[in-house]
Amino acid sequence: MKTNKQYIVLLSLGLLLINSEIKAQEINGDTIFVDSKTVVAVRFPSLPTNFYTNPPDAPYNLVSLPTGFTIIAKRKNTPTAELFVIENKRTHRFIIVNKKKADTKVFDYDFSTVKKLKERINQMDDREKRYNNAITAADKLYNEEKYEEAKMFYTTALEIYKRSWPKDQISKIKKQLKKQKRKKN
């Protein structure tokens, strides 16, 4: 009988440690793909207290769920935006990217359990690949003179690796944005 009680205590402690592992995770720079026809669900271990986009008027509808929220683009060709989610004492930062055509009507980004979080981390585990993808997207946007969007991807790349290319490009973008602002005035 004692062995069963010890097993239950150890199992309970293990579950508490697993939950603390989930709660200790902050997601920073992960990409969420959306479009105007697909409902995208984002779920967490606990109810987010707040979520918002940068810029604040980004054309996305965000609707609360019991343990997360849904996102759908308000129109086709929505611009890239940052999404901040405050869950407990953590702030998660995502990049929302418009995908031309989604494969399904509902897509789920599920960070609600250790298993699902680890699966997502394993998908994102190849840092060099993530860095290269961010740089490729940023360079493309920079060449299209979409400086704000490019800056977000360069920032993501810089968070993955502290390298000079994204840092230099962010400096160039800041100069370009100041130049554009002066022309408008």
Buried b (16+ CB within 10 A) or exposed e, 35-66: bbebbbbbbbbeebeebebeeeebebebeeee
Q: Is the dihedral of CA 154, 158, 163, 167 positive or negative?
A: positive
Q: Which residue has the tokens 């343990």?
A: 67
Residue 124: per-residue pLDDT: 63
Tokens of 132: 């290269």
From first to last of the 185 residues of the chain, give the pLDDT tens digit.
444 444 343 333 333 333 333 444 677 777 888 888 888 888 888 888 888 998 888 899 898 888 888 898 888 888 888 999 988 788 888 888 887 655 555 578 888 876 777 777 666 657 778 888 889 889 999 999 999 999 999 998 888 888 888 999 999 999 999 998 888 87
Question: Has this prediction a pTM greater than 0.75?
Answer: no
